[in-house]
Amino acid sequence: MIEESKGQVNDVHGAPQAADGGEAGSGIKMKKYAVKDIPPGYYFTQTVYLDSHFVLAAPEMPFSGELIKALSDWGFREVYSDGEPREHYVPDGGEAAGSEGIDDPSTIIDPDKIRKAEAFFVAFQKYAETLFTRIRLRGDLNFNNVARQIKAVVDLVREDRRFLMRVQQKIDPPDDKSYLASHVVRSTVIAIIIGTHLKLPAHRLIELGTAALLHEIGMLHIPPRVYLSNRPLSAPEQKMILEHPALGFNMLKSYDFPLAVGLPALEHHERENGSGYPQHLPGAKINLYSKIIAVACSYEALSSKRPYKEAKDGYTGMLELLKNEGKQYDDTVVRALVYSLSIYPIGLYVLLSSGKKGQVIDVNPETPRYPVVQIFGELTPDGKNKTLQTSADGLNIVRPLTREEIEG
């Protein structure tokens, strides 16, 4: 199986194609860069491609020495981009990458959008459950059908990111039967948010979202009592868990899914320091989508309730990822998560320095420690809940609220 995966990767040695379908080396749209001439650690101002089907680096990702070495080892001599390399990362317009600015408070607290977000999660969860049931019972899985669904998800996430993150905590925790669907649905939303921040184009976001939705497909052949167990697993059960990435990759390959969607199923448990499984890949050899899904899944797992554990609040989950102990995760992807959701993530209930309670409802991309909060018990002159930008020398967040404080 692993050798088959390597063979698939080697297939991209064919002539690189530009975004318009012509050869990238033709100079029509994309510039060609010799790998040996790219200074290690430089940032490209636009996405870097190996060919039209393989993203190498987003604008926030340094073109590392490890990546340059890996490309050389693989026999690749050139890469393609509409941008140019620079010594330091400079976001477009001088703002943080992915910045959308701070919206007017009246749009941030729009109750219709809150209801729309809640309905979205219910519908998306049902879709995932039905999809997994069809795969289990009939082997029914079609790339175009899933991609169409994910396109609608991408459009909504890009439009209503803050509302989706706010209502996630209100959705009932999954039971044994819906655990996998709940995990991939939440992880897909987070992965698309990260991909949006990294400025992946729309078709790449659809690929990423499709990969995120199906990255655990190999788990469909494992009894829930195994992957939800809080007891030590037996040797055969451990073997089942360790084999699910390879099983998922082979399943997607058998359904003729693109390699870009199949690789994350194989690699989502790989880690930057080579400690992951099943291939123990170092960071330079892990696909970008796999890196994004690894961070999204880890944050989702940390901040969600499970049948065998209580959820950590989003702030604690974010800090654990920021610590990045052992350098398991790609720093640029973790940073993209923080800038997208803030250290105090959207949806988090917090105690403020004024003694009031509130909820984080938006991010200030320039200062992720100081998000926008909706203050409970304070109204604007027109009767709406008051929202304020927190700051170091003004109103600030003291700590997250406990579940008892939220429900009390």
372-393 tens-digit pLDDT: 898 888 887 877 778 888 988 8
Q: What is the mean pLDDT of residues 274-296?
A: 96
- pLDDT, position 174: 59
C-alpha span between 377 and 359 (Å, rounded): 12
- pLDDT band, very low/low/confident/very high, at 342 (cuts 50, 70, 90): confident
Rounded Cα gap, residues 190 and 198, in angstroms = 12
**pLDDT of 6 strictly over 80:** no
Pairing of strands 78-81, 48-51: antiparallel
User: 116 or 94: which carries more pLDDT confidence?
Assistant: 116
pLDDT score for 212: 98
Amino acid code (one letter) for 18:
A
pLDDT band at 65 (very low <50, low <70, confident <90, very high): confident
pLDDT of 272: 95
pLDDT for residue 186 is more than 50: yes
pLDDT score, position 361: 86
The answer to whether residue 97 scores a pLDDT higher than 50 is: no
What's the whole-number average pLDDT of the chain? Answer: 80
Give kind and range of the element (H or E) at residue 152: helix 143-168
pLDDT at residue 7 in the model: 30
pLDDT at 365 over 70: no
- Return the SS3 of 179: helix
Q: Is the dihedral of CA 352, 306, 149, 21 positive or negative?
A: positive
Q: Report in angstroms the alpha-carbon separations of 74 from 12, 14, 39, 68, 78.
A: 11, 13, 19, 10, 11
Phi, psi (rounded to 5 degrees) for 97: -60, 140
* pLDDT over 70 (residue 288): yes
Residues in the chain: 408
Q: What average pLDDT score do residues 220-231 get?
A: 79
More confident residue, 300 or 90: 300
Nearest to 395 by CA among 359, 356, 362, 339: 356
| Mean pLDDT along residues 32-53 | 82
Q: Band of the pLDDT at 267, cuts 50, 70, 90? A: very high
Q: Does pLDDT of 128 surpass 80?
A: yes
Mean pLDDT of 137-143: 92
pLDDT at 38: 92
Between 52-56, 66-70, 110-114, 191-195, the lowest mean confidence (pLDDT) is in 52-56
Q: Which residues are CB-contacts of 121 (< 8 A; sequence separation ≥ 6)?
A: 164, 167, 168, 171, 185
Sorted by where each starts, the structural domains of the chain and their CATH numbers stand as: 2-88 (no CATH), 105-341 (1.10.3210.10), 349-407 (no CATH)
For 281-317, b where at least 16 C-beta lie within 10 A, e where not — what string?
A: bbbebbbbbbbbbbbbbbbbbbbbeeeeeebbbbbeb
Q: Which residue has the tokens 């959008």?
A: 113
- What is the arithmetic mean of pLDDT over 312-317? 72
What integer pLDDT is reported at residue 18 of this predicted model?
34
Considering 80-89, 131-140, 157-166, the range whose residues carry the highest mean pLDDT is 131-140
Name, in order, each residue with C-beta under 8 angstroms of 228's C-beta and a sequence gap of 6 or more.
176, 179, 306, 307, 308
Higher pLDDT, 276 or 83: 276
Look at strands 349-352 and 397-400 and give their pairing.
Answer: antiparallel
pLDDT at 180 over 60: yes
